[in-house]
Structure 1
Amino acid sequence: MQNDRAHSSVRRQILQAMATMPVAALGSFSFNAQARAKGSPSMTSISSMALNAGAYQSERVSFESHGASLVGLLFKPTAAQPPFPGAVIVGPFGFVKEQSPMEYATRLARDGFAALIFDPRFSGESSGEPRRYESPHAKIADINAAISFLEARADISNEGMFALGICQGSSEMIAAASADARIKALATVSGQYLFKENLEGFLEAAVSDWKRASLVVRQLGLSLIRAARSITRPW
């Protein structure tokens, strides 16, 4: 019990440190190295998704979150046998599931994950009013509901969930992971910066918080934050 409390405390400290970092500086973070899939996922194009569709299958699903009905797509590998490791993906500000989350879900499915993407409350095919309302707190609750949905399925492994946040979704995934021990591994993806100068200016403005966050991790004696190789670099 004491070890569990200590682990939870360290978990919160690390994630709070990560929350102060600029999203563009975050790579991948794992609470359990064995929970990471082999290989390094890379971006796929719409055309390659179509060409490789035989590597995965999709299932339209729905589940409840605080009285709202959420609609999602669950991508599963065709070359592997269940139970599959589960992954929940949340996208950028104002996203719907058919946008960037689908790019990552199809790749994760080809790599052996059962990857769930969904429209959060107030968006896309999911219910909730007012429409297009952006609520980080609601999205965090929806992430918890998505994990519960996967956890209840017989074809999903019960050894813990993988979480992926894209752009602003990284902040919501970090918040969810800090409070939900079912999330065993977390990856964050930076937003796209079209101009090098914009990215450099953003990092310079946040450098003090970035250094403070890195110091916290070093003081904890841990080396759990890894920078992932960039998928694309526009400059």
Structure 2
Amino acid sequence: MPHLLSRKKIIQGAIVASAAIFVGAQPVLAQTNSTATGGNTLRLTQEWDKTFPKSNKVGHQKVTFKNRYGITLAADLYLPKNRGNQRLPALAVSGAFGAVKEQSSGLYAQTMAERGFVTLAFDPSYTGESGGEPRHVASPDINTEDFSAAVDFLGLHASVDRERIGIIGICGWGGLALNAAAVDKRIKAVVASTMYDMSRVMSKGYNDSVTAEQRAQTLEQLSRQRWQDAENGAPAMLPEFNVLKGGEPQFLVDYADYYKSKKRGFHPRAINSNGSWTITSGLPFMNAPLMTNIAEISPRPILLIHGEKAHSRYFSETAYAAAAQPKELLIIKGANHTDLYDQMDKIPFDKIADFFGKNLK
């Protein structure tokens, strides 16, 4: 296998995402996730196993639906109680990158359902309780399609007004949400919270620090990894994420504090809590920019939300500059990147509800 990248190079610019995706690490072979086999047979957990308390203000049920590629996705549907027979506005929610619906996306979905929206928090393809083999694969195309498939589902639900559907993307799914809104005109409004542009960070590293030579080296490594995967009959995995050894940048400490803490965001099915992506998951992101057509979301509105102290803040600032009106960038004073995963005093739910209330009429 090609030589390993140094820790400094990893932190500065190799394929690093919200889960600290490290390129060039020693691989381990992928193993099948017990919650999903093949593309369609799912075994869904029925007990409440979220990282947040269950609300008595909304109804909840597990649902499944297929995307355009035939992969069956698992989701949590949250329905406001006492809604009568009226059709309500609806929201599809996903993220963070490497997280599952039992974490921040479910918290956002349940909270927005308390505010009168039908909401759907889903596991992306190849992740959590959703289908797809091999496990723990990411794709800019398929994951964008996952959002549109969620819109398919919501648009057919008896409690939903299909002309009033919006989406929320968290972290890396913020960039995917913007990409989905650009291509899917059924999406009437989009919120990206603590957003990552996964293509940009995978291709250029943090703060665009990767040189052309380093990019070429990474592509060489990942391309040759495909031969090893083909020879082994299974994709190799990156080492487990968010394992601290000391000396990490603060943002990696923040990730570990959320994903590894059972008092906060740990979940056994989350890639970021006790797993990793396949080594080659980054390849398509490096060649498929997500923000290319962001201006085409207009005249549908965009709300970008980011923490003042987040290392990732520049992603939202750049997206805001590239987007067309109507658009808004809301900076949360004192907040870091992961604060907007679960800190109820920092996530601006009233603002989000007002945004969708005005724009899903």
**Into which bin does the TM-score normalised by the smaller protein fall?**
0.5 to 0.7
Aligned to 2:83: 80
Aligned to 1:13: none
Q: AA paired with 1:152?
A: L
Q: Which structure has the higher relative contact order (CA within 8 Å, separation 6+)?
A: 1
Between the aligned partners of 2:319 and 2:168, the Cα distance in structure 1 is 24
Between the aligned partners of 1:119 and 1:224, the Cα distance in structure 2 is 27
Aligned to 1:6: none
Q: AA paired with 2:186?
A: R
Is contact 2:60–2:76 with CA below 8 Å preserved after alignment?
yes
Aligned to 2:169: 165
Query: Structure 1 residues 144, 62: CA separation in 2 closer, same or farther (over 3 Å shift)?
Result: same
Quote the RMSD (CA, aligned, Å): 3.2
Larger Rg: 2
Unaligned runs of 5+ in 1: 1-22, 24-44
Query: Structure 1 residues 223, 142: CA separation in 2 closer, same or farther (over 3 Å shift)?
Result: closer
Aligned to 1:225: 328
Shift of residue 114 of structure 1? 0.7
Q: AA paired with 1:56?
A: V
Q: Residue 108 of structure 2 aligns to a residue in which SS? A: helix
Shift of residue 210 of structure 1? 4.1
Q: Residue 225 of structure 1 aligns to a residue in which SS? A: strand
Aligned to 1:94: 98
Between the aligned partners of 1:77 and 1:63, the Cα distance in structure 2 is 21
What whole-Å deviation, never above 9, does each CA across 1:111-137 have from its counterpart, x for those lacking one? 001110111111111111110112121
Aligned to 2:148: 144
Query: TM-score scaled to structure 1, two decimals?
Result: 0.66
Shift of residue 212 of structure 1? 8.9
Is contact 1:166–1:188 with CA below 8 Å preserved after alignment?
yes
Query: Structure 1 residues 144, 211: CA separation in 2 closer, same or farther (over 3 Å shift)?
Result: closer
Q: How does 1:1-235 map to 2 (within 5 A)?
A: 49-50=53-54, 53-65=55-67, 66-81=69-84, 82-190=86-194, 193=251, 194=254, 199=310, 206=314, 210=317, 214=321, 222-227=325-330, 229=332
Query: Structure 1 residues 97, 171: CA separation in 2 closer, same or farther (over 3 Å shift)?
Result: same
Write out the 4+ residue segments of structure 1 that deviate beyond 2 Å after TM superposition.
79-82, 191-200, 209-214, 228-234
Aligned to 1:28: none
Higher strand proportion: 1
Higher helix proportion: 1
Between the aligned partners of 1:145 and 1:70, the Cα distance in structure 2 is 9
What whole-Å deviation, never above 9, does each CA across 1:20-52 have from its counterpart, x for those lacking one? xxx9xxxxxxxxxxxxxxxxxxxxx956x33xx
Is contact 1:101–1:117 with CA below 8 Å preserved after alignment?
yes
Unaligned runs of 5+ in 2: 1-17, 19-49, 196-249, 256-306, 340-361
What whole-Å deviation, never above 9, does each CA across 1:61-92 have from its counterpart, x for those lacking one? 11111111111110011143331211000101
Query: TM-score scaled to structure 2, two decimals?
Result: 0.44
Q: AA paired with 2:172?
A: Q
Shift of residue 160 of structure 1? 2.6
Between the aligned partners of 1:117 and 1:186, the Cα distance in structure 2 is 15
Shift of residue 153 of structure 1? 1.4
Query: Structure 1 residues 171, 147: CA separation in 2 closer, same or farther (over 3 Å shift)?
Result: same
What whole-Å deviation, never above 9, does each CA across 1:187-232 have from its counterpart, x for those lacking one? 11116954999746x55xx59x947953x56xx6x45224164695
Shift of residue 57 of structure 1? 0.5
Query: Structure 1 residues 146, 167: CA separation in 2 closer, same or farther (over 3 Å shift)?
Result: same
Is contact 1:55–1:79 with CA below 8 Å preserved after alignment?
no
Q: AA paired with 1:189?
A: S
Between the aligned partners of 1:197 and 1:109, the Cα distance in structure 2 is 27
Q: Residue 227 of structure 1 aligns to a residue in which SS? A: strand
Aligned positions, number: 180
Between the aligned partners of 2:179 and 2:74, the Cα distance in structure 1 is 22
Query: Structure 1 residues 59, 199: CA separation in 2 closer, same or farther (over 3 Å shift)?
Result: closer
Between the aligned partners of 1:116 and 1:231, the Cα distance in structure 2 is 29
Between the aligned partners of 2:138 and 2:333, the Cα distance in structure 1 is 28
Is contact 1:77–1:113 with CA below 8 Å preserved after alignment?
yes
> What percent of counterpart residues are identical?
29
Shift of residue 58 of structure 1? 0.6
Shift of residue 158 of structure 1? 2.1
